[in-house]
Structure 1
Amino acid sequence: MSVSTGELHSNGQLRADKRKKIYAKLWRDRYLYLLILPGVLFFLVYRYIPMLGIVIAFQNFSPFLGFRGSEWVGLQHFRTIFADPEVVRVIWNTLYLSFLQIVFAFPAPIILALLLNELRSELYKRLIQTIVYMPHFLSWVIVVGIFVIFLRGDGLVNNFLQTVLGMEQSVGFLTNPDYFRPLIVLQVIWKEVGWGTIIFLAALAGVNPELYEAATVDGANRWRKMWHITLPAIRTVIVILFILRLGSVLDSGFEQIFLMLNSFNREIGEVLDTYVYYKGIQQTDYSFATAVGLFKSIVGLVLIVGANYLAKRFGQEGVY
């Protein structure tokens, strides 16, 4: 089929006009693009460009030989992840701790948001919000330091147990491995529960008050309103945050775990983040540490995609 010269000229003119509109729109919103430029540069420099270093996961990398001179070993480091009993133990510790955080720490902001939403006094509600937000702005060094001061052998908690309850010996909260995981979960809840309620309270603010009024006319009590109106209103937000949480199931928080580890609880407390630090930094096994990091990223990606697919199959909104 032949195309006339007039049609070619018309198509070319349309493309030119379209480009002019795009350029005009970019120039009109140039200040908005300048605002997002620092964020784009941050992710480009600190997230995407370093991904080129993934290649050392397939090498016996030596800083003296560089990327080109280091020996290629293929999937050897990935086989070590599943063949080494120590690595398997560390993966189990990570998964178990993440499971506890999902079961106990993830619902905590939801429960707190529901409770705050039921408060009638706005002044009291804002006061409680301010108090529970504050721990989020403390670093993990300060948070762990507070817990250590309270829970050490001569700390406030043990003094109370001995003085008031008459216990003869102090409780080794920081040295007994049985207390390690509960303390980690408790610290996460105390530090982040207030900050996590922001998203859920914002979602609750968009609920139509007429729904509650209609439920009151129908004779529904506060529990019925919460179950049939409030929870469905934030269900989409809960699903999206849960999907994102699954993506970091192998990230247990390096700084917190590193500060809480000691020779008594290392057997059950060491996770992938701290193990990578010891192998990659202290023992200079850069290739193995990179392989573990890549393994974590792949697992997180698979979990996010899988959870997003299941959410859409059940009629919920996903992250994409």
Structure 2
Amino acid sequence: MATIFIDGEAGTTGLGIRDRLVGHAGVALRSIDPDRRKDPAAKAELMAEVDLVILCLPDAASRETVRIADALGAEAPKILDASTAYRVAPDWTYGFPELDAGQAGRIRAARRVSNPGCYATGAIALLHPLVAAGLIPADHPLTINAVSGYSGGGKSMIEDYEAGTAPAFQLYGLELEHKHLPEIQRYAGLAVRPIFVPSVGNFRQGMAVSVPLHLDVLPARPKLADVEAALAAHYADGAHVRVMPGQGKVDPRVHNDSNAMHLQVFGSEPRRQAVLVATLDNLGKGASGAAVQNLDLMLDLG
């Protein structure tokens, strides 16, 4: 039985992980005394006793907890960090098992893993295979659009939407410095920073990430079928990521309460235009579900 400490278990991601781990046959959850929650000595004591710590904290707090772990030396547990603090750090393993054929093995062998961002998960899933296959050049200018449920926006946004005081839809991040951009660029394999336009809608959870393409501008001039085939080949063995026909409309909520992500290629072959779409639960494959998937690999539980 592996022992787990969720540092920040009262937040949205922490609660989601805890809910998913209740009844998990391979793990036992440990918690810190609430009165000593901010005591570094108490945290160090508990961390030395568990097998893995999941950090569901702001970036600065995550870095502080990692410093505590560093001081434990050989007694330090494995760490899975759900913040943005270490997602592009060279000595951390990126926690997207479907990235390529060897990534799940790297996560399994790692002692420190960064859980991906929700938007980044959808964008990288769409773009990495196409860049790797040569259908999209690494230096091709790209635009990524996305809409998420309000649960991804933190406590104040959740309160505003649930109180009925927030708009039905809003664009944000328009200074083009969204915190997920560094990991999108790195793990999609892009030499040029994409334009990323996120938005939030008046629904609690769910997400759709989309990338428009002019097919004739791409050097390979692929057909819609070529794009879909490249994605399907990359995820042929995926248990959680599947390529589906690009038909009908897109509901961002379709995978709520699951760790599934579906990829679709829409478009017009006569117009030589395509729209790549990823749908996932921002609280599932975009956060807590991905964390449990990574935990199972890190502890060799599945």
**Larger-gyration structure (1/2):** 1
- TM interval, short-chain normalised: under 0.3
Larger RCO, structures 1/2 (Cα 8 Å, 6+ apart): 1
Answer 1 or 2: which has greater strand percent.
2
The TM-score, its normalising length taken from structure 1, stands at 0.22
The TM-score, its normalising length taken from structure 2, stands at 0.23
